[in-house]
Amino acid sequence: MLIKVTFLGTGAGTPSRDRYLPAILVEDGQRKILLDVGEGIQYRLLEIGVSPLKITHVFITHMHGDHIFGLPGLLATMAMLGREEDLVISGPHGIVNFVKSNMEIVGDPPFHVQIYEIEPSEGIKDIINEENFNLQCVLAKHTVPDCAYSLNWRTYIGRFNPERARELGVPVKYWKRLHMGEVVVLDDGRVIKPEDVVEVRSSGLVRLVYTGDTAPSDSVINIARDAQVLIHDSTFSAVEDHSMVWNQGHSRSIDAAEIARKAGVNRLVLTHISNRYSDPELLAVEASEVFTNVIAARDLMSLVIFS
């Protein structure tokens, strides 16, 4: 299984020449997941060669415009392109009415939207359970209800069994995908799972946590414990007054680093960066004084978090 993260937009509040509004694409071979959907999302997907029809899930952290105003256009594009596959959307209170009102404008779409409307709390909640994948959330600390998400994958390590694959009539073109943990559908309609042709030796959990907008929060520490990657709000520099920043429901670079340190994550990625900072590396340097394995996200930057 290859899990890749691409930052489609890393800005805060308003777009700039160098930063689109918040949107992150997560790909795991079976799914293409959007974390927040800032304006201009269709253009960003085109730039990286991903069709809007391939998006399987959309997870919205909160109902502020810079995180959701790209969703109406994305839904309209999907309908115009004749999407037929179901789309899964999750978000806090208000997401159902927002999606339904936009779908009324789009018209009667040829696809079904499954919506999970969440009441986030400080305790960790299970939201979605799929094969080898689980979505959890907690309440982040913002000015409106905000879902900090944990995306969790069960991974398998083992030897691919070509003899078994041949017995099942699996074409060679599918072998690599199966070895990487992807479920495939053969031309005759049969569904082949990785465990059908891979001798599993061990399994583990890969976790990616995304906060959306948040001030420092114990609930985020709890959901991020021992995660491979924490993508955290870093709207402001360490030089800004912490009271002002926290009252706005945001974090400074050093706040994000302290959360990462307390949670014991492997890697910290700073995002939602104010346009007042032309070079996000400034924030990464500040954060590195507290937590060493940190980078500041840039638009269209990609990371492989498991392979």
Q: Which residues pair with 304 in a beta bridge?
A: 4
Q: CA-CA distance, 106 to 82, in Å (whole number)?
A: 12
Mean per-residue pLDDT of the chain: 93
pLDDT (0 to 100) of residue 203: 61
66 is catalytic: yes
Q: Is the pLDDT of residue 138 over 70?
A: yes
For range 294-305, the mean pLDDT: 96
pLDDT digits (tens, 9 = 90+) for 60-96: 999 999 999 999 999 999 999 999 999 999 999 999 9
Two structure tokens written together for 61: 């952290």
> In this predicted structure, which of 150-164, 205-219, 267-281 has the lowest mean pLDDT?
150-164
Q: CA-CA distance, 299 to 302, in Å (whole number)?
A: 9
pLDDT digits (tens, 9 = 90+) for 250-279: 999 999 999 999 999 999 999 999 999 999
Residue partners of 304: CB distance under 8 A and separation at least 6? 2, 3, 4, 5
The owner of tokens 């998006």 is 55
For range 183-210, the mean pLDDT: 84
pLDDT (0 to 100) of residue 157: 64
> In which element (H, E) is residue 268 found?
strand 267-271
Biggest CA pair distance of the chain: 65
pLDDT digits (tens, 9 = 90+) for 27-48: 998 899 999 999 999 999 999 9
Give me the domain span that covers residue 75: 3-306
pLDDT (0 to 100) of residue 201: 61
Q: Is the pLDDT of residue 212 over 90?
A: yes
Q: Binding site residues for Zn(2+), as ranges?
A: 62, 64, 66-67, 142, 213, 272
Q: Output the pTM of the full model.
A: 0.87
**Contact of 287 with 253, CB cutoff 8 Å:** yes
Q: What is the CATH number of the domain that holds 79?
A: 3.60.15.10
Local structure of 286: helix, strand or coil: helix
Our count of domains for the chain comes to 1
Q: Binding site residues, as ranges?
A: 62, 64, 66-67, 142, 213, 272
Catalytic residue among 18, 28, 36, 66: 66
